[in-house]
Amino acid sequence: MKEKPEQDADLFRQALEGVTPLAPPDRIAPVAKPRKPAARKLNAPEAVPDNLSDHGAGDTALTEYLRPGLNRMTLRKLRHGEWRVQDEIDLHGLNSDAARKLLMEFLHDATQRGLRSVNVIHGKGWRSEGRDGILKVLTRHWLAQHPQVLAFCEAPPQAGGGGAVWVLLKSS
């Protein structure tokens, strides 16, 4: 025989008599969504020169990069998150020319603001039929060419995994 809903509610209230609720846990505020900076006008006084090449990118993406002459511990520290990510950009849905220009502007802006570590989200390229996505390959190729980039590595799974890279920039 089934009990009525009122009886269930009464039994539940009786079971919880004398129980004090837990204090709310200390929570970390959610991080704002990655921004897509507005593209600058070409005739703007501080237009960022686009000097990155697509030539020699290949078919597979670099998993990590360390500027020659730097200690391997730098890359290890970056991989373990010793530099907190200070800003990020999402290049999803852009063609390669728009992504390159936006990446150049973002890196220029980040160095102007004195940021050391940024997250660049490029996506994994799921529709690439067994290859790395074109934007993934090109983004990492461009980062390796950029004069302000000291190192980069794949982001951990919670920060984008194979679809993002943590980038260490030169200090100002």
Domains and their CATH numbers in the chain: 65-172 (3.30.1370.110)
Band the pLDDT of 41: cuts 50, 70, 90.
very low
Residue 139, pLDDT score: 93
In contact, 165 and 171? CB cutoff 8 Å: no
Query: For the ranges 9-13, 18-22, 32-36, which has the lowest average pLDDT?
Result: 32-36
* Locus of tokens 């799974």: 157
Say how far apart CA 31 and CA 160 lie, in whole Å. Answer: 14
- pLDDT tens digit string along 121-160? 998 877 666 667 889 999 999 999 999 999 999 999 988 8
In contact, 88 and 118? CB cutoff 8 Å: yes
Residue 62, pLDDT score: 85
- 88 beta partners: 119
Say if pTM beats, i.e. exceeds, 0.95: no
Say how far apart CA 17 and CA 119 lie, in whole Å. Answer: 49
Residue 45, pLDDT score: 46
20 has pLDDT over 60: yes
- pLDDT tens digit string along 63-118? 899 999 999 999 999 999 999 999 999 998 899 899 999 999 999 999 999 999 99
